[in-house]
Chain A
């Protein structure tokens, strides 16, 4: 019971169970971050003065160490996945809000003027023109947010083994099995690369309208 994929029983999960847990803890916060970022970014586009303070706040939040978040949150949400995911969701804002703002702003002014002139109201303009054209920028932001989230989940180990694959790092120490640490690092990295590839695939499917040479990025 000391192979590469043999997970100590204190983690109460198989190898694939840990992977599933890890993905959930990494992706749900990004999804939540996206749902918050979309309206926030739209407000920033609509009211230009709002963007610098919003950007400042998200940056400051990003600078708060996750441990500090845990200390505050643990009184409310306990030693749970939620306590891990809330800081991750907050961190994703620093990437997602600017990505969406830039994406929406990248819509050429003549395209917007044409949309207005054809009688598309503000809601249609946003949903049918600005958002679709911002998709490449939004997905670029999602890629960064997702990969960083996947790597950050491990820190959850500190609050009672809520770090999914990160827990293996701790177990590697207490059971003196360095291979578990290697497993943790390699699996996390592979997960990040695979999820990133999936996002690129989604981008390609959603944007058949992009010039191929630009899409190759």
Chain B
């Protein structure tokens, strides 16, 4: 599959890719329409196909040897394939459909190679090699697009995870000057850090000197998470805000004691309601029932 200094086969393939790119693109686009028409909108992908052929042409003009995958000359092609696979993903194509889309270049390419070989005298003997070089090249393009597709999907997943992280840690205002973060589900270190930061930001934003971190919905915490919570409380104090941790389950209390963490400086309450009462009290509010002689 490696093609050292322009062999006759490479030279033939290069010539086709360079000089017949317009014909190739037309035939490729037609093949795409046959394959996907109606089912998917591949207009964007088609445009990328054109860019791909242009990029291939640019590389071959500089050096007629076919660039092997992973080389520096391959990089511009990979960049185009990244765009291509992104467009395919957006159009709803699967990874294998995306690779297929690239493989559809083969037929037009083979046709042109055969025609060229027929035109030149004695071209037929180089034809087999050229076909092999072409199929290898297109296979590599297809596989690269497949990989790029998966990479971009991983990116999307990671981004969605981040967004979910933000969504799953809302900081709510309970009362003027009193914020709360009701934490639900398993806390990992990353999520706890996000909570910590968004709570502290919100304290400044809303000028709230009291904050309640409610962990009723948290089944368990590990050392790192417990430490993050304590650091949040310490950081809030440095900023001039008081934190109360509420809803500590028995298991978590045990963990905290076993880990030897010192909570003596932190106000803890059994329930969010208790914490709110303390927060109101410290903020100078009094809560009582009305409609009854006091």
Do A and B make up one complex?
no
Where the two chains meet, the residues of B that have a C-beta atom closer than 8 Å to any C-beta of A are: none
Where the two chains meet, the residues of A that have a C-beta atom closer than 8 Å to any C-beta of B are: none
